[in-house]
Amino acid sequence: MSIRAVVAVVVVVLAAASAARAAPNPSDLEAELVCPTCDTTLDQSNAPIAQRMKQLIRQHIAAGWTEERIKADLVDQFGPGVLAEPPKSGFDLLAWLLPLGLLVAGALGVGVIAWGWSRRRDDPAEEAADDRPLDPELERRLDAELERYEA
């Protein structure tokens, strides 16, 4: 491999690394964090504590902090309630799995009910029950009523 090729590869790798370490966007972070007083995301809140958190985010970004480090700092200061989405571990994992479980259970329930309805409609035992002969007394009365009606 020539020197030019090696230099080109190094330049591409360094450019990719610097792009990967780009500073986090403050508006993205504000949408992922919740104001502790009004329980809305920071980008929607004008509460004094939200303003302080926004300023803190901008200071941390200017200091070169990563998104994860900024979130960890805010969680240390204000508690885990500042995260807009619950962590995907421990008991908070239920917030992610419970809706999916309910959706699957509902789909299974609908499937079982539909299968039961389709089986009930094609049940030959019920069709045979409708073909049994009438009671002779009931048949005689029915014939008498029909004769009266036709007359």
pTM comes to 0.49
In the chain, where are the structural domains located? 23-85, 92-150
pLDDT value of position 59: 92
CATH topology classification for 23-85: Helicase, Ruva Protein; domain 3 (1.10.8)
Q: How many CB atoms lie within 10 A of CB 139?
A: 11
**Range list of H helices, the chain:** 3-20, 26-32, 48-62, 67-78, 94-121, 124-130, 136-150
pLDDT tens for each residue of the chain, 151 residues long: 677 776 667 666 666 555 445 567 877 888 889 998 888 888 898 999 999 999 999 999 999 999 889 999 999 998 888 888 766 777 777 877 889 999 999 999 999 999 888 877 655 555 555 566 778 898 899 899 999 888 6
pLDDT value of position 90: 75
Residues 6+ apart with CB under 8 A from 81: 34, 36
8 A C-beta contact, residue 29 and residue 67: yes
Per-residue tokens: 83: 């995260």
